[in-house]
Amino acid sequence: MQLTNFDTAAFLRDYWQKKPLLIKNPWTEWSDPLEPDDLAGLACEEGVESRLITQATASGGWTVEHGALAEERFGQLGDKHWTLLVQAVDHYLPGVAALIEPFRFIPNWRIDDVMVSYATQGGGVGPHFDQYDVFLIQGIGQRRWQIGPVCDSATATLPHDDLRLLTEFKACEEWICEPGDILYVPPGVSHNGVAVSDHCMTYSVGFRAPSRSELIGDWADDLIAEMEDDDRYTDPLLKEQDNPGEIRPDAIDALHKMVTEKMADRDAFARWFGQYSSTPKYPDADWGAEEPASVDHLREHLASGQPLLRNPASRFSFIRQPGDLLMLFVDGASFPCTDQKCIAFAEALCAQDRIYLAHELIQSDEVMALVTTFYNQGSLVFDL
């Protein structure tokens, strides 16, 4: 699926992380990649993250139920004021995964997943704000979107264990989204979407934005795991001081250096971040091949012209390093590439969701070793 008459450079310059934008049906051809019943079926499966949100119109209260949901639950809901949200639908349905492709002008490591919602008339999740960018693609039906002011952690919210609803919301813009329309909402901008048709589906292409505290905490945890217990503070040149209660500047300098010289290692941070950012959304999910394949078996398939497909649940990225070295990251693991054929393969793997390997790459033992590893762990599959 492709966008038409969409100026990527202008969007990044004028709107990305700056202000909302309504894009009226920019697709060459739009059709929903799944049916409401398919979404409900996913919500009934174990291991699929889903929420059912209902609003009691009399009290104005909101109720959240977490999946897996019982199939009969949907027959008890009525035809108004409820919403089903299913996370990471792109992991399970290639047609939904294809919705990410038009937004690949945003780096891979920033892309999170595609959440799909189905709402009956009046259904929504209430006025709220997110801490990440999102493209809201309207599927079947219609939804009224209201845009409000920019919010932050100090903005007042209603007490609720599962929803972060704004105490006050005043809309400054409003649109009715029709099938194929896209609404871009930057981080922190409050918004409220309400279904105005009997059946309403919305595809939310969301992006990741790690917080400073997450980066520091996770990076420090990784460093600590590699440190030796005998790596300790020493002061062999200690001198007597006037007051034993004083922590002297030279001690503070030495202690501060112990911390900062580890945290300031840019190359180590780059390797860690590549692994951190390529870790799958659900790392415990097993996508591995039912039977491990050999290099010769995979080489034969590739030589016949079969393309490899990236598993939508997998994440791929790379970092260039000095000395013609490229570090490839796939599903939380790193793979150093020094051979030019391996580098060419890694670049193609990160740029395309469907990969046709040239003859010289198929004949490369180094490339095929990577292909075999990724195929057997489920990061790559054949388009059968």
Give the CATH number, domain containing residue 305. 3.40.366.30
**b/e sequence 86-122, b meaning 16+ C-beta within 10 Å:** bbbbbbbbeebbebbebbeebebbbbbbbbbbbbbbb
Q: 28 and 172: one domain?
A: yes
What is residue 186's DSSP assignment? -
Q: 45 and 192: one domain?
A: yes
Q: 194 and 314: one domain?
A: no
Q: 333 and 194: one domain?
A: no
**Last-in-domain residue among 182, 207, 232:** 207
Q: 160 and 302: one domain?
A: no
In a domain, 240, yes or no: no
pLDDT at 100: 96
Concatenated DSSP letters for 278-325? HS-SSTT-----SSPPPHHHHHHHHHTTPPEEE-TT--EEEEEETTTE
Cβ–Cβ < 8 Å for 84, 43: yes
In a domain, 283, yes or no: no
**CA angle 350-353-358, nearest 5°?**
75
- Residue 93 has phi, psi (to 5 degrees) of -130, 115
Q: 197 and 51: one domain?
A: yes
In a domain, 279, yes or no: no
Kindly state the tokens that stand for 226. Answer: 């590699």
Low-confidence residues in the chain, pLDDT < 50: none
Q: 56 and 175: one domain?
A: yes
Question: What region, left, alpha or beta, does residue 276 occupy, with left being phi > 0 and alpha being psi -120 to 50 degrees?
Answer: alpha
In a domain, 18, yes or no: yes
| CA–CA separation, 329 and 332 (whole Å) | 6
pLDDT at 75: 87
pLDDT at 204: 98
pLDDT at 55: 85
Q: What range does the domain containing 337 cover?
A: 295-382
Q: 308 and 192: one domain?
A: no
**Last-in-domain residue among 179, 207, 235:** 207
**Last-in-domain residue among 191, 207, 223:** 207
- Cα 347 to Cα 27, 56, 298, 319, 337: the distances in Å are 28, 51, 20, 10, 10
Q: Which residue bears the tokens 């497909």?
A: 309
In a domain, 368, yes or no: yes
| CA–CA separation, 124 and 143 (whole Å) | 9
CATH number at residue 167: 2.60.120.650
| CA–CA separation, 73 and 308 (whole Å) | 39
Q: How many domains does the chain have?
A: 2
pLDDT at 171: 95
pLDDT at 249: 95
Kindly state the tokens that stand for 323. Answer: 């000395």
In a domain, 317, yes or no: yes
**Against a cut of 0.85, is the pTM above it?**
yes
In a domain, 264, yes or no: no
Cβ–Cβ < 8 Å for 348, 355: yes
In a domain, 233, yes or no: no
Q: 19 and 167: one domain?
A: yes
